Chains A and B, each alone.
Chain A
Amino acid sequence: NAGVTQTPKFQVLKTGQSMTLQCAQDMNHNSMYWYRQDPGMGLRLIYYSASEGTTDKGEVPNGYNVSRLNKREFSLRLESAAPSQTSVYFCASSGLMNTEAFFGQGTRLTVV
């Protein structure tokens, strides 16, 4: 099984450019998440989707939008990238709230 697949793995953007990070899971999970990880900050939750058709803000949603396209896919969009959004982005999914989450390998984004 592929598990959780994120694309792209690396991306460099110029300030003001937009892009969408893609995430897909093949485990029939209900819940999906987007996190960012900065050095020394651990993982901070950007947005999450508890089920298909619903999305909610996490700890640091400003500057981002999300789309739960279907049960498999959850995308993260940066409308106007800023250097402060330079980070490693992780997508994750879980079946239920009382079970483990599975993570993608991350997208390393640099905004110059």
Chain B
Amino acid sequence: SQQGEEDPQALSIQEGENATMNCSYKTSINNLQWYRQNSGRGLVHLILIRSNEREKHSGRLRVTLDTSKKSSSLLITASRAADTASYFCATVDQGAQKLVFGQGTRLTINP
């Protein structure tokens, strides 16, 4: 089974609203990463948060990590139509060398 479980599976909001996606995982991690995938394209890295960090910002993105609950959230503020995409969390386990993805959240921004 896949490492990350993302919630919700699909999210539809109006342009300008904030979008929040959640990711839960099962193991002890080294870091957690978020990626975006536009339809039919390869994935693009958005942000990485290490296991000793609790919050990280990048532009309109805010990521939180709660290692006690084995969960992370991605907040996109002031959403735009161009943010329409699928978003995936991925984890790297402590002492491991592999990057494992969740099933993703499909985000639709309505103009």
Binding site for B on A (CB under 8 A): 4, 31, 33, 35, 40-45, 48, 50, 56, 58-59, 90, 92, 94, 97-106
Contacts and interface: CB of A to CB of B under 8 A. Distances in A.
Contacts, number: 74
Chain B interface mostly: strand
A50 B2 contact: no
Interface string B1-33: 110101000000000000000000000001101
Given A43-B101, A45-B100, A48-B97, A90 B42 contact: yes
Nearest to B99: A101
Contact of A33 (B6, B44, B98, B104): B98
Size bin of chain B's contact surface? 20 to 34
B45 interface: yes
B103 A41 contact: yes
A45 B43 contact: no
30 contacts: A4-B42, A33-B98, A41-B2, A42-B6, A42-B104, A43-B88, A43-B90, A45-B100, A45-B101, A50-B97, A90-B42, A90-B43, A92-B43, A97-B30, A97-B31, A97-B96, A97-B99, A98-B31, A98-B50, A98-B92, A100-B33, A100-B45, A100-B48, A101-B33, A101-B43, A101-B45, A102-B45, A103-B43, A105-B41, A105-B42
Contacts of A33: 98-99
Contact of B98 (A4, A40, A41, A58): A58
